[in-house]
Structure 1
Amino acid sequence: MADLSPYNPTTGIYTSTRPQISLPQSPTTSIIDFLFRNLPAYSNRPALIDPHSHQIITFSQLKQKISDLAHALHHIHNISTGDVVLIFSPNSILFPVAFFAIASIGAIATTANPVYTVNELSHQINDSKPKLIITVDQIHSKVNGFNLPIVDLENCSDLIEKSRRQDAISPSVSQDDVAAILYSSGTTGLSKGVVLTHRAIIATALMVTADQEFYGDGRSVFLCVVPLFHIMGLITFSYSQLQRGNAVVVMQRFELEKALIAMEKYRVTHLYTAPPVVVAMAKQPAVVRRYDTSSLKQIGSGAAPLGKDVMDECSKVFPQAKIIQGYGMTETGGIISIENTRVGSGRSGSSGALCPGMESKIIHIETLKPLPPNQLGEIWIRGPNLMQRYFHNKEATEQTIDKEGWLHTGDLGYFDDEGQIYVVDRLKELIKYKGYQVAPAELEGLLITHPRIMDAAVIPYPDEEAGEIPMAYVVRKAGSSVTGEEVQSFIAKQVAPFKRIHKVAFIDIIPKAASGKILRRELRQKLQSKL
């Protein structure tokens, strides 16, 4: 690695010391062109592997499947440049096929959590206005009421066959065209569509795999247990590795023994996941040792901080594997920094050094002045992988990205003298439950619709397995005797499982500022004093 100082005291800017990436020169290079640019070198290698059915899609087969589905979407459903298509599906090896098929037409993919209720899904559909929904039979009923054409991802052979006699399509796609709108929770309670271009996604892929390229890593096999509807699973993980010719083993959901069986059978070398999975593996060493996981070289954790104790426990269970952390956001293609265990020792608590092409500032909360190493402030970042904007939300875009291109993350952190970044808290008030983002305001809005609740506030409650769980402080209406169990059940019927309230406390009044904003910090301090 280049021996450069990460901090410039004159500008207050931290820069990456990793070698720079080179984006494709042609303005018409799409993420599909980039994905298959080296196809002859690995055309018959496995690209996507289903550990349940043992089906394997090679890279040449992947290209053909993408072409077939894109052809059908265009000719049968008239999907073309700029149209939005929603993928509403659990993990499968066909999920990336659908995403790439949409992008290859010049259309825009948006994704949604398959456990969403109809009510939760309706916000995203109303916002993104998809022309078509791609889903699977098990959750088909959730999308029936939206009056949109639906394609069954698992049974689209008839659709493909109907389009075979049609002319080939050759859409013109630019790097600056939008490829995806992925939704990120906001503190307002309504998720915001993050608009990502082909250029930003390509940049993300190069940044994620920069160390692999620099050190000449050979063919690798990655186990994907994180959701593909999420930026981490779809872009940071799967696309980044596929474009390098690596295989991705796709699990529908994480189940420890099934994951270990897959590691053994397919000689998995890398597992990138979220802290709950690392915790699960660390806590059950006896189960892990029943399987041959000697091929595993690296365990990467992201989406939420991973504690040093858990990292130490996990390293005992997988002594041959390096455990690293990374830091990212949907607004940055899922990556900002990542640890490099080849340089120095493992830095428990650090989220590593900035990825190539990234710049950062640490900004004092009150003075808005840039801060030197070892001083805590808000993390601002800038780079080629940033979102273009929030979809249909100019105000939120202007609040998040300033005129100089700095994205204000809302996270509190600092750099040490060697350029390692530490993310220690959030200015934003999102709750991170097993890597999922839960907006307190959304749950508060539902709580106050309960006929026996006067007011409510939701804060994170620390949990060893999940990281944080939603906890509600509730003010009962006069004469009400509503119980905590009734409150939990009321919310559980309306939201996805990861948003459910796990703890309820009753309080006389919710602390608020003069503006009416809930002072959640006071409630967190109240909770902390009792822990």
Structure 2
Amino acid sequence: MSTMRIIPSPYEPVEVPEVSLHEFLFGAGFGDRADAEAFVDGATGTAVTFAQLDGMVTRVAAALHERGLRKGDVVALFAPNSPAWVAVFHGVLRANGIVTSANSLYSPTELAHQLTDSGATTLVTVSPFLDRALPAAAQAGLSDADVLTLDPVEGRASLADLLASTAAAPPSEVLPSDTAVLPYSSGTTGLAKGVVLTHRNLVANLLQYTPMGRVDASSRILAVLPFFHIYGMTVMMNHGLHRRATVVTMPRFDLRDFLRVVSEYRVSRLYIAPPVAVALAKHPMVDEFDLSGVEGVFSGAAPLDAELGHAVGRRLDCVVLQGYGMTELSPVSHSMDERRPDDDLGGVGYGLPNVESRLVDPETGLDVGPGERGELWVRGPNVMAGYLNNPAATAATLDADGFLHTGDVATVDERGYFRIVDRVKELIKYKGYQVPPAELEALLLTHTAVADAAVIGVQDAEGEEVPKAFVVVQPGAALTAEDVMAYVAERIAPYKKVRVVEFIDAIPKSASGKILRKDLRAREQTPV
């Protein structure tokens, strides 16, 4: 009978207090940081201090309670990043409610699914999104009065109305085990699923992540990745609050705006996804701005190629780190340690405090040894409670021992340092060999004429699965399919060669930076 090979975190465990997220972040007050800027809108320059935010959160909670919100009711947030988003998010939690955060790019149908599935009773959005928000709300059975806006709209309740409430805030009724947020997983198979994250999950992950980086009251964090995604929500918004740092928000990524904000606000910490790293490493516009305030760049949400990361570090003269996580892990489970900047940037670092890992061969179900590939399984206080109203999906992901099966293939060395080498379900099987798309994508990005790339498996005329590369060419560069295939063939084992190339204007990606392989597969209607 096989035994588990549990890989513990190399860090001292953290003690997770039995409190709500609101109590954890706001309960002790803000001391000498009360009048410091907590959140700054990078687009307008509007700033909110910690004390002002605290007051806004209390007012929003009081107003929502006055409107009938009760413990366990769900409020959907469908809006781009702003200080107002933060105030409503924490106001809902302070009112004993639950936030479900919706992707800003959603169509009415996608939003309606999330509203219906989560049981949302209120939708908070912005006026430019009303053309999608109102039909979605109607489809989900919400009334027109259930749709509020962050900005003023004639005839519609807005944040300003909530802040004007003179009602008393309700007493806190939340237990640490209660649901705090319902983000929806990326839905690579079927419809997106609601991920049940408790107050304790979120508090735990903030404490687990803190030892891995140098974030304190002197830090200035740029939040361009969306708060609706758990990476933005935990690592930027809530961790910034926890560490009393200043967070500068951006509603969307635009390279010139991004560079302007980093320069103007002397941003010290950038949290990005790999597509932004490509721009930072390769785009000539970067040289037009003073980015000397940047001390650290942290990449997550998708694998960062080591060479690309080093190129960013050299260009910005800063530390570059990456970590690993998923929505179901609140989201961070593994991270490089800023105190150990010499670690291999091709890895994702160590298990966070309180995290236990296993690497299990997907075919045999047996734990593998150091250096061997296995599916990463994770256990810890940051692991989700389950998928909302979906016991079958929960049972397929969370086992009886409390380990979450990530679907990602990893290796670990003797020190406990992890590398993600691919997805279980994205491996291409060519003549029986396993071909990892991520490896080919990383190689393609080292070509000076390649701006971006993605790889999927497609069927050839013989019915064999072969690697196909989708390539975005750098502006002004010339590149042929033969050039791409030859470049890869010279640098890789023969069975891993790219055998089909398609040039494309942009690689489809989620808001968090993950390649949407299902969108690329949808382009493949006939065998090549």
Normalised-by-shorter TM-score class: 0.7 to 0.9
Aligned partner of 1:90 in structure 2 is 80
Q: Which residue of 1 aligns with 2:238?
A: 239
| Aligned amino acid, residue 161 of structure 2 | L
Cα-to-partner distance string for 1:455-490 (whole Å, 9 max, x where unaligned): xxxx99957455537898799xxxxxxxxxxxxxxx
- TM-score for both structures, normalised by structure 2: 0.79
Structure 2 partner of 1:160:
162
* Matched letter for residue 22 of structure 1: E
Q: What amino acid maps onto 1:271 in structure 2? A: L
User: Structure 1 residues 202, 325: closer, same or farther in 2, change over 3 A?
Assistant: same
The aligned counterpart of 2:53 is 62
Residue number in structure 2 paired with 1:223: 222
Partner of residue 464, structure 2? none
Deviation at 1:252, TM superposition (A): 0.9
Correspondence for 2:212: 211
Question: Counterparts of 2:277 and 2:298 in 1: how far apart (Å)?
Answer: 9
In structure 2, relative to structure 1, the CA distance for the partners of 1:378 and 1:133 (3 Å cut) is same
Q: Distance in 2 between matches of 1:243 and 1:161?
A: 23
Classify the secondary structure of the residue corresponding to 1:207. Answer: helix
- CA deviation after TM superposition for structure 1 residue 35, in Å: 0.8
Q: Note the C-alpha offset of 1:157.
A: 4.9
Structure 1 partner of 2:173: 172
Contact 1:23 1:202 in 2 (8 A): yes
Q: Show the counterpart of 2:97.
A: 107
Aligned length: 447
Shift of 1:429: 4.5
Match of 2:7 among 8, 14, 36: 14
Q: Indicate whether 1:507 and 2:498 are aligned.
A: no
Q: Aligned-pair distance for 1:237?
A: 2.3
Counterpart of 1:409 in structure 2 is 406
Deviations 1:265-296 (A, max 9, x none): 22211001100001111112x42233222121
Partner of 1:289: 287
Q: CA deviation at 1:95?
A: 1.2
Q: Aligned pair in 2 of structure 1 residues 259, 405: CA closer, same or farther (>3 Å)? A: same
Q: Give the Å deviation of 1:503.
A: 7.9
In the alignment, the residues of structure 2 paired with residue 62 and residue 14 of structure 1 have an alpha-carbon distance, to the nearest angstrom, of: 41
TM superposition shift of 1:32: 1.1
Answer yes or no: is the 8 Å Cα contact 2:101–2:183 preserved in 1.
yes
CA distance in 1, matches of 2:108, 2:199: 30
Determine if contact 2:185/2:192 at 8 Å carries over to the other structure: yes
Contact 1:194–1:387 (Cα < 8 Å) also in 2: yes
Report deviation, 1:62: 0.6
The residue that corresponds to 2:183 in the other structure is: 182
Alpha-carbon offset, residue 306 of structure 1: 0.8
Alpha-carbon distance change, 367 to 157 in structure 1, aligned in 2, over 3 angstroms: closer
Equivalent in the alignment of 1:393: 390
Q: Which residue, 22, 26, 40 being the options, matches 1:49?
A: 40
The letter of the residue matching 2:454 is E
Alignment check: 8 A CA contact 1:412 1:423 kept: yes
- Residue 315 of structure 2 corresponds to which residue in structure 1? 317
Stretches of structure 2 lacking an aligned partner (at least 5 in a row): 153-157, 429-436, 446-450, 462-509
Shift of 1:176: 0.9
For residue 217 of structure 1, report the CA deviation from its aligned partner. Answer: 5.2
Q: Counterpart of 1:426 in structure 2: which amino acid?
A: R
Aligned mates of 1:195, 1:429 — CA distance in 2: 25
Unmatched runs of 5 consecutive residues or more in structure 1 = 1-8, 432-458, 476-494, 509-526
Deviations 1:166-203 (A, max 9, x none): 33321321111110011003443111110000000001
State the match for 1:140 in structure 2. 130
Q: Which residue of 2 aligns with 1:300?
A: 298
**What's the offset of the Cα at 1:107?**
0.7
Tell whether 2:16 aligns with 1:23: yes
Q: 1:346 to 1:38 in 2, by over 3 A?
A: farther
Structure-2 separation of matches of 1:118 and 1:42 = 41
Counterpart of 2:201 in 1: which secondary structure? helix
Point out the more displaced range, 463-472 or 9-18.
Answer: 463-472
- Pairing of 1:346-385 with structure 2 (within 5 A): 346-385=343-382
1:377-432 deviation digits (Å, cap 9, x = unpaired): 1110000011111000011111111111011111111101111101111113499x
**CA distance in 2: counterparts of 1:236 and 1:51, whole angstroms:** 18
Q: Secondary structure at the match of 1:336?
A: strand
Cα displacement (A) at 1:132: 0.4
Gap change, CA 1:416 and 1:474, over 3 Å in 2: closer
Q: In 1, Cα distance between the equivalents of 2:190 and 2:297?
A: 32
Do the aligned residues in 2 keep the contact of 1:88 with 1:114 (CA within 8 Å)?
yes
For 1:273 and 1:134, the matched residues in 2 are separated by: 26
Q: Kindly provide the amino acid, as one letter, of the partner of residue 5 in structure 2.
A: G
Residues 279-335 of structure 1: per-residue CA shift (max 9 Å, x gap): 111112x4223322212110010111111221122122112x100110000000110
State how far apart, in whole Å, the 2-side matches of 1:238 and 1:79 are: 24
Any runs of at least 4 consecutive aligned residues in structure 1 with deviations exceeding 3 A, and if so which? 215-218, 428-431, 459-475, 495-506
* 1:504 aligned partner, one-letter code: R
Amino acid at match of 2:303: P
Distance verdict in 2 for CA 1:272–1:315, change over 3 Å: same
Letter in 2 for 1:163: S
Residues 222, 247 of structure 1: 8 Å contact kept: yes
Mapped partners of 1:377, 1:504: distance in 2: 31
